[in-house]
Amino acid sequence: MNRRISPLVAVLAIMSLIMGATVVGASTGLIIQGPEDRPVAPPPLLAPPDRYSYTPIAPGNLIVPPDGRPVAQLSVPNNFETVSVNFLPDTVSPETKDTVAFQILSSIRYEGTGGRILVTTSRPSETAMTTPLNLGSEVTLANGATAWAARFTGPGEYPNRVTQTKNGLVILVAGALPLEKLQELAANVIMR
């Protein structure tokens, strides 16, 4: 299936469009492919482009967005000495109607002795909601939620990714920590 791919708020996530078994994401309606399928591209990082900067905030405080948008964040950011946040403009590009794209609402960077991770909240486009996506192998988090874990062997500081869906949004926890540790952190993500 060919689809025109274009950016959504300067962020584009190319997703896998491969035939195979699918399941529907628990609370979003996203169609997730089974782990036996080979992705055309790795699961998306869903992080703001480098040109967007992060604003430091006091560790331990809940992050409250200035405009009331939903923000996924760690409920207990243990072992992270610095926390910074990025809120991208909450606008939707009209050219994304026929694209697999994700609008990033927020990205939180946690850094410290516990490593460096991103917790990103994004909204899938209508086409992303109806296109089979390969987000990795299905896992059950400690809180009982379904998520998808993937390891990307390419360059970058966030090669391991755990993706889950909540309230029609895609929540990504990514970092160089082992997937098992990222799954523990993903189980402690709350929405604000």
What single letter denotes the amino acid at residue 79? N
Sheet holding 22-24, edge to edge: 22-24, 31-33, 132-133
**C-alpha triplet 103, 146, 151: angle, nearest 5°:** 70
Alpha carbon distance 142, 53 (integer Å): 32
174, 192 contact by CB (below 8 A): no
End-to-end C-alpha distance for the chain, whole angstroms: 37
Q: Give the helix, strand, coil percentages of the chain, each rounded to 5.
A: 10, 35, 55
Q: What local confidence, expressed as pLDDT, does residue 163 receive?
A: 94
Quick count: other Cβ atoms within 10 Å of Cβ 58? 7
For tokens 């964040």, name the residue.
Answer: 73
pLDDT value of residue 40: 40
Q: Quick one: which of 45, 23, 43 has its CA closest to 34?
A: 23
Return the bridge partners of 102, or none: 124
Locate the domains of the chain by residue range.
22-191
Q: What is the pLDDT, as a whole number, of residue 62?
A: 86
Kindly give the confidence (pLDDT) of every residue in the chain, 192 residues in length, as a single tens digit, with 9 standing for 90 and above.
333 323 332 232 323 222 222 333 444 456 665 545 444 444 556 776 665 688 888 887 889 888 999 999 998 877 788 899 988 876 666 566 678 888 889 999 999 887 889 999 998 888 888 888 888 899 999 999 999 999 987 777 889 999 999 988 999 999 999 999 999 999 999 998
Whole-model pTM?
Answer: 0.77
- So what's the pLDDT on residue 45? 67
Q: How far, in Å, are 107, 110, 133, 140, 147 from residue 144 at the CA level?
A: 24, 24, 22, 6, 9
